[in-house]
Chains A and B, each alone.
Chain A
Amino acid sequence: MEIFQSSGDESWETYMEEFIGMHGVITDPDANKNDPDDLVEVSLDEKGTFRFPQDCLKIIS
């Protein structure tokens, strides 16, 4: 996944801005497949694991 843009979702926080452009993998897929509005757990390469709204994520491979 790539954090390709910031999100307007209320769960998006200021510190997440610096993650834009970073890559990672979905580590808990339980939510995202069923509900596009759910937060998804993503581990960013060497930056940690966070829950993001799905409108800031895109699949890159």
Chain B
Amino acid sequence: MNISRCQVIETYDWIQGKQDAGELTHPRCRQKASEALELVHDIATGSAGNEHLTALTSLGKTLEQEGLTPECKQLGQKLSQILQENREVFQSHILTHTCPSGDCPQLTPSPCQMACPAGIDVPSYLTLIGQGRYEEAIRIIRRDNPFAWVCGLVCTHPCEFMCVRGRMDSPISIMQLKGFAAEKAISAQRYINPEQQEDNGKKVCVLGAGPGGLAGAYYLALMGYRVTVLESLPVAGGMMMVGIPRYRLPREVIDREVSMIEDLGVEIRLNTKVGRDVSIQDLKNEGFQAFLLAIGAHTSYKLGIEGEDDYQQVESAVDFLRRVNLGNHRKPGKRVAIVGGGNVAIDAARTCIRLGCESVSVLYRRSHDQMPAHKEEVIEAEEEGVGFSFLTVPSRIVGEQGKVCGIKCLRAELSEPDANGRQKPMPVEGSEHTMEVDAVIPAIGQGVDASGLEDLQEISWTKRNTISVHTSSMETHSPGYFAAGDVVTGPATIVEAIAGGKKAALAINRYFEDIPQPSMPPVPVRRRKLDFPNIPASLKMDLDRPNVEVLNTERRRITFQQVHLGLTEDKANSECKRCLRCDVCMRCGKCVQICRDQMGIDALQIGYLDFDNPGRTDLKIAAERCICCGACATNCPTGAMQMYDQDGERVLSLCGTELNRLKLEYCEYCGKVLGPRRYHDYITNRLKDISPALGNRSICIDCARKHSGQVHAETEPPNKF
């Protein structure tokens, strides 16, 4: 057996091989092997239930114990061994309906779902949104991510980077569609929590009410744990609440999401910091048996330049955004310099504009192209009046009478690329100049404030000053302590924190159940397998990614109103139609290969199959070339390519996209379906040198034989001996 291949499909092929080779001679053994094959088939295709593995194990033992023939005994022994060694793989297939290796064709996950750190079943919820079933869509999302609405507004959406449609034109607006569905569900009072298991009486304490901590609390509460979350700030939400400006993520959104988690019985103690208000020992005395550390990364890196610590008007971006988000809208100054080129710098700059600062400049030591901030955010900042000074390195903050009056900077030039292609900004000698500003906001990075965790001596810290964990389980090196979010990754994304919290919750459950922790990160779960909506290829090709309405620039400059106004219902429904349903099509390319190489037709131009070098995709071309022979559909391993007769036409569709539709012809004699004219011509052309008898007549094979026999009988009298 091939151990690098998925052991489920490998087992299927192995039993099938035994049968085909005729090795199983005893009838009872053949029958048991057929039953085993059927059970493995169900597991490999996602239709198995919890009892399948038990039944399969029992079959293996029966074959082994009965030992009707040596081959039979060997089959039983081997099957038992496979199940023992790969139990988790088989179980994972049954529970998740996903084969992460992609060897089981019908369980191959979509790239978007695999890319989502939280593993949300994207194709299923997009299909439901396209059908107007918003509540069901949200139910699917919230099984894997409690913050559906938040992530519908501010997710970094790695799913869109991996979206196969992006190789064709532009990726599906997955994030916007999530936000749209969340708004619809909330508006209809149908934003509900998944079913909760019964209270198991076990207490878990979560330190930090950010996305990682709250996600952990959510999943633990769903599993029946009694969860208490300690939060040092006066509000819950962590960086979602105090790091992201309200014009990107309104407070109401976070409050609603948090209240959903509280509805599960999670207690959130605000203004409570471990090490300041309560000790770990106090918490243990309270009965907490496991801890999830999710305190985030709320401190700022320093610029390390003269004057930085001398003036009140130098305020880190993290501190600045926190105080503004908590309601202190005092502007930092009239003329503000923000140092840094990431998203936090842009957030701080745009916030300054909204507070009424007269001049806001972002100083970045590299070039515009090298800014790590999202391009869209940079453009919007420019629209709102933020100025940028690139290749500028601050060297000193200067002041008068205890107040900042300027920042001295050097111009920089980028060095030649090093071995890794990285260009370093090199200060130009003699280029020092002073920018007149009265406030400076450094935004060059964040770190973890570990104060309060001093008692946890057994926790290991990395060289990056983050907690060291096994990222497959988020388990620290100290039993009973788990960690998630920025305290593990350093400043990262909301969805990564959510994923970490979820993994930690699953691992905490294993800890309580005394089950070994996984060595691999969890496999995403396919929540539904929905029928494809039908759509003509021309429409599929022609639909464009929708533009999202934005607030007008004047209002953006003076208020904290939400800038991105989301999708309209029409736009959302159209956008869902662009989805290629990669949860069904595994992009193996067999259809293209058979059409081109075996049939010699080349009707399928699907360039998106190649990840590294995608070619041109034109789904419309099939209508011009395809003969509806069905070779592609017959050889499709997943059922993505389908051919069927409908209303007098033969239809070829790929995941619901109608590639071709040809009028059917019928036998002149018996009325049997013959296929389309184009197919008939193809066959006639191929057979013209062998059997020219039919001419242009439309006759089925049976009638052709009868006709030919009749002609033969009329023209060739039987031999008389």
- Residues of chain A at the chain B interface (Cβ within 8 Å): 10-11, 13-15, 23, 25, 27-39, 41, 43, 45-51, 54, 58-61
Contacts and interface: CB of A to CB of B under 8 A. Distances in A.
Which one of B114, B366, B370 has the greatest number of beta carbons of chain A within 10 Å?
Answer: B114
Interface stretch (B85-93, B283-291, B463-471): B463-471
B252 interface: no
A45 B116 contact: no
Interface string B200-212: 0000000000000
Given A37-B464, A46-B109, 20 more contacts: A13-B470, A15-B472, A15-B519, A23-B612, A25-B161, A25-B162, A28-B492, A30-B342, A33-B341, A34-B342, A41-B493, A43-B114, A43-B162, A45-B611, A46-B102, A46-B108, A48-B524, A49-B116, A51-B489, A60-B612
Interface string B368-412: 001111000000000000000000000000000000000000000
Contact of B372 (A25, A29, A43, A54): A29
B697 interface: no
Contacts, number: 96
The 10 closest A-B pairs by CB, nearest first: A27-B158, A43-B115, A45-B611, A30-B372, A43-B158, A27-B161, A33-B372, A49-B117, A29-B372, A49-B158
A2 B498 CA distance: 26
Contact of B161 (A10, A34, A43, A48): A43
Contacts of B421: 59
A10 B462 contact: yes
Contact of B490 (A29, A32, A38): A38
Contacts of A10: 462-463, 468
A27 B372 contact: no
A61 B612 contact: yes
27 contacts: A10-B462, A13-B470, A13-B472, A27-B115, A28-B493, A29-B372, A30-B343, A30-B373, A30-B491, A31-B490, A33-B371, A34-B341, A35-B445, A38-B490, A39-B490, A43-B158, A43-B162, A45-B162, A46-B108, A48-B100, A49-B158, A51-B489, A51-B492, A51-B496, A54-B420, A59-B421, A60-B612
B496 A45 contact: no
A27 B519 CA distance: 24
A39 B471 contact: no
Contact of A49 (B115, B341, B445, B491): B115
Contacts of B468: 10
Contacts of B670: none
B521 interface: yes
Contacts of A43: 114-115, 158, 161-162
Contacts of B132: none
B536 interface: no
Interface in B442-464: 444-445, 462-464
Interface string B475-494: 00000000000000111110
Interface string B634-658: 0000000000000000000000000
Contacts of A31: 372, 490-491
Contacts of B102: 46
A39 to B, nearest CB: 7
Contacts of A11: 462
A59 B421 CA distance: 9
B372 A34 contact: yes
B250 interface: no
B610 to A, nearest CB: 10
Which one of A10, A59, A60 has the greatest number of beta carbons of chain B within 10 Å?
Answer: A10
Which one of B162, B462, B496 has the greatest number of beta carbons of chain A within 10 Å?
Answer: B162
A45 B302 CA distance: 37
Nearest to A45: B611
Interface in B420-449: 420-422, 444-445
B156 interface: yes
A61 to B, nearest CB: 7
Contact of B445 (A13, A14, A28, A34): A34
A50 B464 CA distance: 17
A54 B419 CA distance: 13
A59 B372 CA distance: 17
Contact of A48 (B114, B445, B462): B114
Which one of A23, A28, A36 has the greatest number of beta carbons of chain B within 10 Å?
Answer: A28
Interface string B337-372: 000011100000000000000000000001000111
A48 to B, nearest CB: 5
Nearest to A10: B462
A41 B672 CA distance: 58
A33 B156 contact: no
Interface string B500-532: 000000000000000000011100100000000
A11 B162 CA distance: 24
A31 B322 CA distance: 21
Nearest to B4: A18
A33 B462 contact: no
A13 B473 CA distance: 12
A49 B492 CA distance: 13
B111 interface: yes
Given A23-B612, A25-B161, A41-B158, A36 B489 contact: no
Which one of B158, B370, B422 has the greatest number of beta carbons of chain A within 10 Å?
Answer: B158
B612 A47 contact: no
A55 B421 CA distance: 12
Contacts of A25: 161-162
Given A30-B343, A38-B490, A43-B158, A48 B611 contact: no
Interface in B103-148: 108-109, 111, 114-117
A55 B58 CA distance: 48
B11 to A, nearest CB: 20
A36 B422 contact: yes
Contacts of B111: 45-46
Given A36-B422, A51-B492, A28 B158 contact: yes
Nearest to A51: B489
Contacts of B490: 31, 38-39
